[in-house]
Chain A
Amino acid sequence: MKKKSANIAAKIYPAAALCVFAGLWELIVWLNHVPEYRLPAPSAIISEFVNKFGLLAYHAAQTAYESMLGFLIGVALAAGIAVIMSMWKPVKLTLYPFMIISQTVPLVVIAPLLAIWFGFGMVPKIIMAVIVVFFPVAVSLTEGLESYDADLVDLMRVMKASRWQIYKTVRLPGAMPSFFAGLKISAAYCVMGAVISEWTGATRGLGIYLSRAMSTFETAALFANIFVIVLLSFALFRAVSFAEKKTIPWNQNQQ
């Protein structure tokens, strides 16, 4: 009973906060006669969203496709490299510093470079999403694979487990909670990666729509775009959370 009401509260509180926020916003715009090109009221954004739904969906589908593909490729790459690094120490010692350095290069610098190298098609967008996804997953899985209980490994050795058996039964499942923590961060940022790349040049996608809306001062369309990007990111995040619940049910904290 208590758990259920806590669940409802977790949905109602943020929803109520959102309503209050939107209400205040509407009120401020209305009272100050703010022109729509500077700050559109929530009602204007909603009507823009409804009117341009077809166009938004057209661009969103492209961005969703790129980010999903980038997410899958990024996760596969990151998982592969994390596993290799955890098995061969020299590989980790070699790669790890570069992985961290690579993260310090701003994405907005990488985006035009990718456009120069790979043109304005889908490839640079997917690569961008891969770059965004790769790091959190690789780091969290590597850390997860290394944070096993040494006493547990000792016990496995006394039971005459092979190195592979120890890896498979202790280290890999034990790394899953940390792996999913990284996945969730990646899921939340992945769409942003694709959008930044689209921004620098594309024929289709939320990023280019956003860029056009900005240069023509269609601010309501800009906000409608942001709303769609948030929705996409959130959907991906929820999908990962769902996969987590299904994959590691033993890790649910009792609330």
Chain B
Amino acid sequence: MNAVISLENVGKIFEQTQSYVEALEDICFDVRENEFVSILGPSGCGKSTLLKIIAGLDDDYTGKVYAAGRDIRDAAPSVCLMHQKDLLLPWRSVLDNVTLPLELKGVSKTERERTALAYFEEFGLKGFEGMYPKQLSGGMRQRAALLRTFLCDGGVYLMDEPFAALDALTRFKMREWLLDVWSAHQKAVVFVTHDIEEAVFLSDRIIVLSERPAKVAHVFDIRLPRPRVRDMLEDASFLRLRRAVQEALVITA
């Protein structure tokens, strides 16, 4: 299978007036088509920095990043980004928020609304099209944010702890629901998290980063069957993987 994202010896140094901090060192991995990859690491290790580099938002790094085979320094990567904050525009209705990526591309109003409205049911937002973001619950706002990400139509979803700000119950529902959406629409996902259970539950592969300077400390292939359901959290195979990942994380931290 082809790699949609490919990192070769990526490194990053934060320079400050007096000192400099090495954030990332020699990071290499590929993300294949339709693959769900989680990046797991101790907080502050540089996971978000890495995601920003892949998104093309930070070109102050060493090494190479390829998206769809092209160096992202030459051509801005075509990716979709989802943040921990919903980043919805408070002055726009839900519909006008989720259609933003189409609007930026110059798609006409009727056309972009028709495209978006087709997904409102699937994303659990039906009936909320005309509401302002602050009238929605946290979970619904994140679903709207995901629909907006979805309508970006890039090659990869880059997700930076998208459910971290939600309460435990909502977070769990969102995970299951994300997998539904993902399996229905098959795209590569790079999912940053510090939640071990979340990473094991969602991923095909987990890349564990070490403490600063972050290196790839471990790579786990998660061969649990799909579709993944809540009951699997109690399975021996799940728990074994979870423990293995946890140990890898503890050793690196």
Contacts and interface: CB of A to CB of B under 8 A. Distances in A.
A155 B104 contact: no
Contact of A165 (B76, B87, B104): B104
Interface stretch (A46-54, A124-132, A169-177, A232-240): A169-177
Given A158-B57, A165-B104, A250 B87 contact: no
Contacts of B70: none
State the majority secondary structure of interface residues on A: helix
Interface string A145-165: 000010110111111110001
A250 B57 CA distance: 30
B100 interface: yes
Interface string B87-107: 101111000000011001100
Given A169-B100, A250-B91, A158 B56 contact: yes
Given A152-B87, A173-B91, A250-B91, A158 B104 contact: no
Contact of A155 (B76, B81, B90, B134): B81
B55 A158 contact: yes
A248 interface: yes
Interface string B37-81: 000000000000000100111000000000000000000100111
Given A151-B83, A157-B57, A176 B104 contact: no
Contact of B80 (A151, A158, A251): A158
Interface in A212-255: 248, 250-251
Nearest to A157: B57
Interface string B217-238: 0000000000000000000000
Contact of B87 (A149, A160, A248): A149
Contact of B85 (A151, A157, A250): A151
State the majority secondary structure of interface residues on B: loop
A99 B139 CA distance: 45
B132 interface: yes
Contacts of A173: 89, 91
Contacts of A157: 56-57
Q: How large is the interface on A (under 10, 10 to 19, 20 to 34, 35 or more residues)?
A: 20 to 34
A158 B81 contact: yes
A251 B134 CA distance: 10
Contact of B79 (A158, A165, A169, A248): A158
B104 A250 contact: no
Nearest to A173: B91
Contacts of A161: 104
Contacts of B152: 158-159
Contacts of A176: 91
A151 B87 contact: yes
A58 B57 CA distance: 62
B90 A154 contact: no
Interface in B102-141: 104-105, 132, 134
Nearest to A158: B81
Contacts of A160: 76, 104-105
A40 B52 CA distance: 71
A152 B148 CA distance: 13
B116 to A, nearest CB: 14
Contacts of A170: 89
A159 B52 contact: no
17 contacts: A151-B87, A152-B87, A155-B81, A157-B57, A158-B55, A158-B56, A158-B79, A158-B81, A158-B158, A159-B100, A159-B104, A169-B104, A170-B89, A173-B89, A174-B89, A176-B91, A250-B92
Given A159-B101, A174-B89, 8 more contacts: A149-B85, A149-B87, A151-B87, A154-B55, A158-B55, A173-B89, A250-B92, A251-B91
Interface of A: 149, 151-152, 154-161, 165, 169-170, 173-174, 176, 248, 250-251
